[in-house]
Amino acid sequence: MAKRYFTSDHEWIEIDGDTATFGITDHAQSQLGDIVFVELPEVGRKVAKGDSTAVVESVKAASDIYAPVSGEIVAANDALSGDPAQVNRDAAGTGLFGKIRLADKGELAGLMSESEYQAFLGAKP
């Protein structure tokens, strides 16, 4: 079973071997409101942990999506181009942004588990 991790910037990442699927959390999409545009990650681009990989625009704001880990973008969810509201409907599923091939699995140690992320959200004012 794939393991899911979370960042303090409200991205999630699900590991499957040396590849990970990533997107924004349900909390993030609810804070953004109705999503109207997604700039997808560029396939083939090498990113460092924390680099901007995509952009999401809503009726309220625009926000960068950051790489939860370093690696190479190996897939983008092209379906979001025609239907960016998928992020609102299913942020942790069909609203995913893409896939990244991990450069260093050791970076996962700096991410939160689901229970840690829920505690992090509870600590927010």
CB 100 within 8 A of CB 19: yes
Tokens of 15: 């590991």
CB 113 within 8 A of CB 5: yes
Written as tens digits, the pLDDT of the chain (125 aa) is 568 999 999 999 999 999 999 999 999 999 999 999 999 999 999 999 999 999 999 998 899 999 999 999 999 999 999 999 999 999 999 999 999 999 999 999 999 999 999 999 997 54
Q: Which domains does the chain have, with CATH numbers?
A: 3-106 (2.40.50.100)
CB 11 within 8 A of CB 22: yes
Q: What is the identity of the amino acid at 107?
A: E
Predicted local distance difference test score (pLDDT) of residue 1: 53
Residue 22 to residue 101: CA distance in whole angstroms: 11
Predicted local distance difference test score (pLDDT) of residue 47: 97
